[in-house]
Amino acid sequence: MTFVDTSGVVMVDQSTDDAVNRSVWAEFTGGRQARWAQRRAMLRLLPAGGPVLVGSAVVLQLLAGLLPIGFVLATASVIAGVPDAVTGGVDSPAWQQLRDHLITAAALFFATQLLLPVQAFLGDVLRRRIDDQVRDQLMADSFVGPGIAVLEDPEVLDQAADGVNMLRMAAWSPGAACAGFIALLSRYLQTITAAVVVAVVFEWWAGVAVLLAGLVIRFGYRIGLSVFGRIYTLHQRVRRRRFYFRDLLFTSVAAKEIRIFGLLGWVGDRYATAFMDSSVPIWRQRRRIFYGPYVLYTLTSFVLLGGALVVTARASATGVLGIGAFMIVMQASLSSIRIGAFIAESDVQTEYGMNAQQALIRLGELTAAAADPGGTEKPSAELPIREIRFEQVTFRYAPDAPPVLDGLDLVIPAGGSLAIVGLNGAGKTTLVKLLARLYEPESGRITADGVDIRTFDGAAWQRKVAAIFQDFVHFELPVRDNVGFGAGGLRDDAPIEEALRRAGALDFVTALPAGLDTPLSRQYTDGTDLSGGQWQRIAIARALIAVEGGARVLVLDEPTASLDARAEVAFFERFLDLTSGATSLVISHRFSTVRRADRIAVLEHGRVTESGTHTELLSAGGRYAELFLLQAARFTEDTPAEEPELLGESADV
């Protein structure tokens, strides 16, 4: 089912009528397999907590389940012994027995209270350990294979939105669900033991009635919560859109334009609409699931418990049961029925934690299915020696989208510099992503010295490619890390400072408050932010240190876009020296940069239409010459009359 929200975007409602309208009875009869699968998934996580911790938590919960029943028996003995103790006086055996029962009851009560913080502590430690393993698995699933296409899949993003958000919330994480499962041991043990006490002290059927009274409410409530949780997960995509608008309102990324263009009201309205779109259907289903059925559960439980207690009271009134036995049955019945109440340490944690784990499992299945197995061969340290070649490479981002690259043939000579120019949408950055194996070609192949790069281990090949993309990451970390990441987290001063010097960034880095250890964000103490040009130099230093660390292919996607013209010329004059021995691929819109490359390729309509040196391409009088002269005219007073028509086309060139 689809609908259009108020911003005009077509949204997909992932729920189906069967899933949304599924009754509690249908969930009870038809959803058992799914519920057991969820619980098995939780149990498989428990070993991550460690045998000592899990064993201690289990023993503690069993003890916590038995202590309240002991307290019931002790207090009943106290009440039953009062008449004889009063009659016999303070020196009588009855009084001493009453005193002993009272001390026992007090000890059991305080032991129960003392166990509570220990139970909470062990549960919290268990949650953290298990969640740490879940996070490790999430990272492994997110980075399975070298490609990133799967991370753009809507279903993967839906699962990640729910799974990751719940993992961030301590009360809704898979680890919290495991701790909640163990916490249920004490509750169920207390319930069953109390029912057994009723059956032994009074009648077996009374014990059964008391047990059923608690379990009817318990299972009815939990099944309703299960249906509700299932419906909650069906609105993942609408909820993800709500989170998007929320982040626009509360992060600094969009703050500038929201203020400048006066978008606060617009974004706020869209957030409110998305919030209601994701919440109102859930609220409606919650009323349907909980209110009506819950009345039925409660009435059933009331009849069972009320009948047992009425018969117990009559037996006591007729002398069949003594006062002590009557108190045992009464208190044990109330202890047993407590299982039907909301359990703060378990119910929400287990339900949403199980949903989070299922979302993360599904995410792992999707990423594993989409991962290109590739090869396992390790590329040699010297590769490429001769060339990198694109052979009839075709690629599109979606099966029904037009091809971005269409039968592309391109040769990148090893040890030399090749510049790629082209209009917006020509496929320049896509070409780089294919070279780095972030995506795989639909057809054709990319070879290094004649060997298809898909035969190489993906991670090993990517270590040979040092790339600076237009949207390179501004890590909110010290300069040392921002540069050292190019060589796998290198932290030594000397090579980092050398890379900064070669990129022309050492002077301003040295002037920072803490030098290499200055955080590059004003959100941290002693942190600072950099200009666009300074960030570009940091990124270039990152790529240069990657070359020093063994990368053989240096890719610069608009490397000097944020530098002024003089700095750009100075940088490229040193460029060949900086990348000596490495294969360099440069994408740029400034011809003052690309004209110095060994060769230049013009990309248009997904293919290379021209290739040669700057002089050769100008002499040919083709598309390159046309666009070069157009850009040159913008720096003179002799602007061609047709410039306005061509400017829109050549913005990327």
pLDDT category, 348, cuts 50, 70, 90? Answer: confident
Residues 413 and 386: their CA atoms lie apart, in Å, by 6
Mean pLDDT check: name the lowest of 112-126, 133-147, 298-312, 551-565: 551-565
pLDDT category, 577, cuts 50, 70, 90? Answer: low
pLDDT at 134 over 70: yes
pLDDT for position 565 = 60
pLDDT at 637 over 60: no
CATH number (3.40.50.2300, 3.30.390.30, 3.40.50.300, 3.20.20.370) of 473-551 reads 3.40.50.300
The three-class DSSP label of residue 443 is: strand
Residues 524 and 477: their CA atoms lie apart, in Å, by 9
Nearest-10 Cα torsion for 242, 243, 248, 250 = 120
pLDDT category, 444, cuts 50, 70, 90? Answer: very high
Residues 592 and 596: their CA atoms lie apart, in Å, by 8
CA 259 to chain centre: 30
CA 578 to chain centre: 39
The residue extents of the domains of the chain are 2-370, 384-464+552-653, 473-551
Give CATH for domain 384-464+552-653. Answer: 3.40.50.300
pLDDT for position 581 = 66
Decide: 309 and 207 in contact? Cβ < 8 Å. no
Tell me which range, 52-56, 538-542, 588-592, is most confidently predicted by mean pLDDT: 52-56
Q: What are phi and psi of 314, to 5 degrees?
A: -65, -40
Mean pLDDT check: name the lowest of 252-266, 310-324, 570-584: 570-584
Mean pLDDT of 207-232: 80
Q: pLDDT higher for 619 or 533?
A: 619
Report CA Rg, the chain.
35
pLDDT for position 14 = 40
Question: Model confidence over 515-570: pLDDT tens digits?
Answer: 999 999 888 888 898 888 788 889 888 888 888 778 889 888 876 666 666 666 66
pLDDT for position 638 = 45
Long-range contacts of 296-301 (CB under 8 A, 24+ apart): 296/220, 297/216, 297/217, 297/220, 297/221, 297/340, 298/217, 300/213, 300/216, 301/212, 301/213, 301/214, 301/216, 301/217, 301/337, 301/340
Mean pLDDT of 225-230: 72
pLDDT for position 650 = 32
pLDDT for position 641 = 41
pLDDT for position 608 = 92
Same fold, 384-464+552-653 and 473-551: yes
Question: Model confidence over 360-394: pLDDT tens digits?
Answer: 888 888 888 777 767 788 888 888 899 999 999 99
Provide the mean pLDDT of the chain. Answer: 81
The three-class DSSP label of residue 400 is: coil
pLDDT category, 649, cuts 50, 70, 90? Answer: very low
Name every residue whose Cβ is closer than 8 Å to that of residue 365 and which is 6 or more positions away in sequence: none
Output the pTM of the full model.
0.73
Question: Model confidence over 455-492: pLDDT tens digits?
Answer: 998 888 988 888 888 778 888 899 999 998 887 767 78
Helix (H) or strand (E) holding 617: helix 614-620
Mean pLDDT check: name the lowest of 232-236, 278-282, 434-438, 467-471: 232-236
Q: Which CATH architecture has domain 2-370?
A: Up-down Bundle (1.20)
Count CB neighbours of 387 within 10 A: 16
pLDDT at 9 over 60: no
pLDDT for position 566 = 64
pLDDT at 287 over 80: no
pLDDT at 13 over 50: no
The three-class DSSP label of residue 3 is: strand
pLDDT at 19 over 60: no
Kindly state the tokens that stand for 132.
Answer: 């740490």
In the chain, pLDDT over 70 holds for what percent of residues?
86
Question: Model confidence over 147-201: pLDDT tens digits?
Answer: 887 777 777 877 777 777 777 777 788 888 899 889 989 999 999 999 999 999 9
